[in-house]
A and B are shown apart, each in its own frame.
Chain A
Amino acid sequence: ETGVTQSPTHLIKTRGQQVTLRCSSQSGHNTVSWYQQALGQGPQFIFQYYREEENGRGNFPPRFSGLQFPNYSSELNVNALELDDSALYLCASRPSPTGGTGELFFGEGSRLTVL
């Protein structure tokens, strides 16, 4: 059983640039969510995707957007990068959007540094 994988693991961008982060969900999982974890803080929910549509969103501006593909993999796109976007971005998958055990399965994250 393949777990959640994310790429790239580290990247450095400059303010104003755009970034795309990628995530492959765990086998059998159709729901993917993204979290932002700033240094020394807990993860903050960005959004969740199910059946290729966003079905939940946290308090993040529209320059944070995403996609989910038919194979359930997902992308997180951030436009007009700001210094405060520097963080570890975590992807998590689960078998369904609600119910079940409710457990999230996390990847190891993509660490973004904005200079």
Chain B
Amino acid sequence: GDSVTQMEGPVTLSEEACLTINCTYTATGYPSLFWYVQYPGEGLQLLLKATKADDKGSNKGFEATYRKETTSFHLEKGSVQVSDSAVYFCALSDQDYGQNFVFGPGTRLSVLP
């Protein structure tokens, strides 16, 4: 079945440092790819998405590019802020084969001032 693998956390960075969170996936069809973020005590919010190969999703300074050849969707940000501290989930939705989303285990990011 479909699956998503993320780099192990937690990740601790200083403010203004560069961030990369790796995400790779396995899917039988042609999935859409997503990054969701969960702030403490809250539900998940969509951060960015890409629906086909080579698409780049971006939002709030975060970017991720859909790489079909490496089945990856790595999340990047050039300069993190304390307010970026949260748990980040990579996810896929394979519309041709089901209605559900498959989420990775999440990566906790802590940004120190």
Chain A residues near B (Cβ < 8 Å): 4, 31, 33, 35, 40-45, 48, 50, 55-56, 58, 90, 92, 97-99, 101-109
Interface secondary structure of B, over-half rule? strand
Q: Indicate if the CB atoms of B49 and A43 lie closer than 8 Å.
A: no
Total chain B interface residues with beta-carbon distance under 8 A: 25
Interface of A is mostly: loop
In the complex, what's the smallest C-beta–C-beta distance from A15 to chain B, in angstroms? 26
Known: A41-B106, A42-B89, A43-B89. A106 touches B45 (CB 8 A): yes
Q: Which residues of B are at the interface with A, using a C-beta cutoff of 8 A?
A: 4, 32, 34, 36, 41-46, 49, 51, 89, 91, 93, 95, 98-106
Q: How far, in whole Å, are A15 and B42 apart by their CA atoms in the complex?
A: 27
Q: Quote the shortest CB–CB distance from A57 to chain B (angstroms).
A: 9
B105 and chain A: residue at smallest CB distance: A42
| Contact A41 B105, beta carbon cutoff 8 Å | yes
Question: Whole-angstrom distance between the alpha carbons of A44 and B4 in the complex?
Answer: 12
Q: Which residue of A lies closest to B9 (CB)?
A: A40
Chain B: minimal CB distance from A29 (Å):
14
| B101 partner, pick from A45, A98, A107, beta carbons under 8 A | A45
Taking CB as reference atom, which chain A residue is nearest B41? A108
Residues of B within 8 A of A97 (CB): 99
| Whole-angstrom CA separation of A55 from B99 in the bound complex | 8
Q: Name the 4 nearest CB pairs between A and B, nearest first.
A: A42-B103, A56-B99, A45-B100, A106-B43
